[in-house]
Copies of this chain bind each other. A is one copy, B any other.
Amino acid sequence: MDAIELKENFKEVDTSSLVDKVEANLVTLLQQRKLKVGDPIPKELELANTLGVSRTVIREAMLRLRVMGLIESRKKKGAVITSPDLFGNMSKSMNPHILDQETLKQMFEIRLVLEIGMADFIFQRITKEDIAALREIVSHEPPATQHHLFNIEHEIAFHGKLYEITGNENMKKFQSMLLPVFDYVHHSGLLKKPISHKKFVSHKGLVDIIENGSPELFRNAMRNHLENHFARLFE
């Protein structure tokens, strides 16, 4: 009997610690939708007694839920269920010096995907004021020869505004976390091909399309606008 068959015939040994089990317990407790945001969960000592483990274990399990943003605990009140901030929790890990290169590259890619794919939401939800704001931003668009940092700030202002227009706060939050990673990948030696500064569709060109074009046109224009980045990923 070879190794693969063996693996199928044996049950997985439960190697999880006490804390793991309690955590799983609590998570399923939360997921049974009898409980809503704001509802309190049992006190540490109650849980310790009920589950037959020490308060230390309970605390560590609850600590995990707290770090994940699933609960919040206040003195005297105990712990209450909260609606987690999905991307907020990610921000501490989203650091170029901590992530491995493959992940960094993939984050770089995801940004490109998002900006091309969000066209419909921009067109659906944009307001007159948004267009005015975009016009204001592009009026300061620096020439490609400008100093790097200046360009970066302009990039952030313009593209950040686009995310804002989609009205999708989670996507916006994700983007702001992606920014330093994107910048890092762009300038570190991670991408082998050199940085190109060929001129494609400009920010102003994109705004023109937003005003007079269609989502289809915008997607293609954005794809073109990002060509310098794509060129470094492909081939």
List B contacts of A68 (CB < 8 A): 67, 89, 92-93
List B contacts of A219 (CB < 8 A): 116-117, 216, 219-220
- Closest chain B residue to A84, Cβ basis: B93
A63 to B93, CA, bound (A): 14
List B contacts of A220 (CB < 8 A): 216, 219
Which residues of chain A (36-78) have a CB below 8 Å from chain B? 37, 59-60, 63-64, 67-70
Chain A count of residues within 8 A CB distance of the other chain: 58
List B contacts of A109 (CB < 8 A): 121, 166, 168, 171
- Closest chain B residue to A30, Cβ basis: B98
Q: Does A115 reach chain B (CB closer than 8 Å)?
A: yes
- Closest chain B residue to A107, Cβ basis: B170
A104 CB to nearest chain B CB (Å): 10
Chain A interface residues (CB < 8 Å from chain B): 27, 30-33, 37, 59-60, 63-64, 67-70, 81, 83-84, 86, 89-90, 92-95, 97-100, 102-103, 106-107, 109-110, 112-121, 124, 166, 168-171, 215-216, 219-220, 223, 230, 233-234
